[in-house]
């Protein structure tokens, strides 16, 4: 979808300014680099349009949701979702963004982690959580698991256990109907990949 077809010029300018602000937090790529943020943003726009969400709030939350992830990875903060919400509040308030929408963006960021609360209360928060999980399933999800394994010296067997312990459970944790449909397809692809790689490990043709 073209953003120009959905947003006003004012909203587009706000989104672009937010994109540049968010991007400044990422010094390098990786499993949680800015390319992940861009994919989550794209998923949010697709799901949000299908589900009737406030697309401006959703766009800002998607772009800002992982800005504190590099800080958490460096051991500087304990919870990147909570810290990202705090930084986002400051940033959006500095732009004069309406307080009600500031809090809507902040809540979505605080609630996007499936493994840690709070539970998402709004449609926009649920969509962001869904999009973040969807980026861990399917072809992209497979690529990210092995990128992470390369970054941390994990072998193939350890990576496959990660699929079984976490990735294959994500399909059942989606909130929105649109995300559930996307997850079914991505989950199926992931299962097929795991079955294939296990056959190859065992020497089957």
Structural domains present in the chain: 1-114 (1.10.472.50), 136-205 (1.20.58.1910)
Whether 3 and 58 have beta carbons less than 8 Å apart is answered as no
CB atoms under 10 Å from CB of 167, counted, come to: 24
Average pLDDT over residues 99-105: 98
Distance between CA atoms of residues 82 and 194, nearest Å = 34
Whole-number mean pLDDT of the chain? 94
CA–CA distance, 25 with 65 (Å, rounded to integer): 11
Is 12 exposed, middle or buried, given 0-12, 13-18 or 19+ CB atoms closer than 10 A?
middle
Q: What average pLDDT does this structure show over 179-185?
A: 98
Burial of 48 (0-12, 13-18, 19+ CB in 10 A): buried
Q: What is the pLDDT of residues 153-166, one digit of tens each?
A: 889 999 999 999 99
pLDDT at 16 over 90: yes
Q: How confident is the model at residue 205 (pLDDT cuts 50, 70, 90)?
A: low
Contacts of 177 (CB under 8 A, 6+ apart): 51
pLDDT number for residue 130: 98
pTM exceeds cut of 0.85: yes
pLDDT-based confidence at residue 78 (cuts at 50, 70, 90)? confident
pLDDT of 30 higher than 70: no
According to the model, what pLDDT value does residue 74 have?
A: 84
Class of residue 143 by CB neighbours under 10 A (exposed 0-12, middle 13-18, buried 19+): exposed
For residues 128 and 154, the answer to whether their CB atoms sit within 8 Å is no
SS3 165: helix
How high is the pLDDT of residue 72?
A: 86
Is the Cα torsion angle 132, 50, 106, 92 positive or negative in sign?
A: positive
Instruction: Choose among 30, 193, 26, 50: nearest CA to 127.
Output: 50
Tens-place pLDDT, residues 105-164: 999 999 998 877 799 999 999 999 999 999 999 999 999 999 889 888 889 999 999 999
54 neighbors 104 (Cβ within 8 angstroms) = yes
């Amino acid at each position: 979808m073209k953003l120009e077809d959905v947003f006003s010029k004012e909203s587009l300018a706000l989104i672009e300014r937010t994109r540049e602000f968010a991007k400044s937090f990422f010094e390098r790529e990786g499993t949680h680099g800015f390319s992940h943020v861009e994919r989550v943003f794209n998923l949010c726009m697709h799901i949000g349009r299908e589900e009737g969400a406030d697309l401006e709030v959703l766009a800002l939350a998607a772009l800002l949701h992982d800005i504190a992830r590099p800080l958490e990875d460096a051991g500087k903060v304990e919870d990147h979702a909570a810290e990202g919400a705090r930084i986002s509040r400051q940033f959006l308030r500095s732009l004069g963004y309406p307080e009600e929408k500031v809090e809507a963006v902040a809540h979505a960021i605080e609630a996007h982690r499936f493994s840690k609360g709070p539970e998402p209360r709004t449609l926009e928060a649920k969509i962001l959580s869904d999009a973040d999980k969807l980026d861990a399933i399917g072809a992209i999800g497979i690529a990210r698991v092995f990128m992470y394994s390369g970054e941390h010296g994990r072998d193939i067997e350890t990576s496959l256990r990660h699929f079984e312990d976490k990735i294959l459970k994500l399909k059942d944790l989606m909130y929105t109907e649109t995300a559930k449909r996307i997850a079914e397809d991505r989950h199926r692809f992931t299962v097929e990949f795991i079955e294939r790689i296990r056959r190859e490990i065992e020497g089957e043709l």
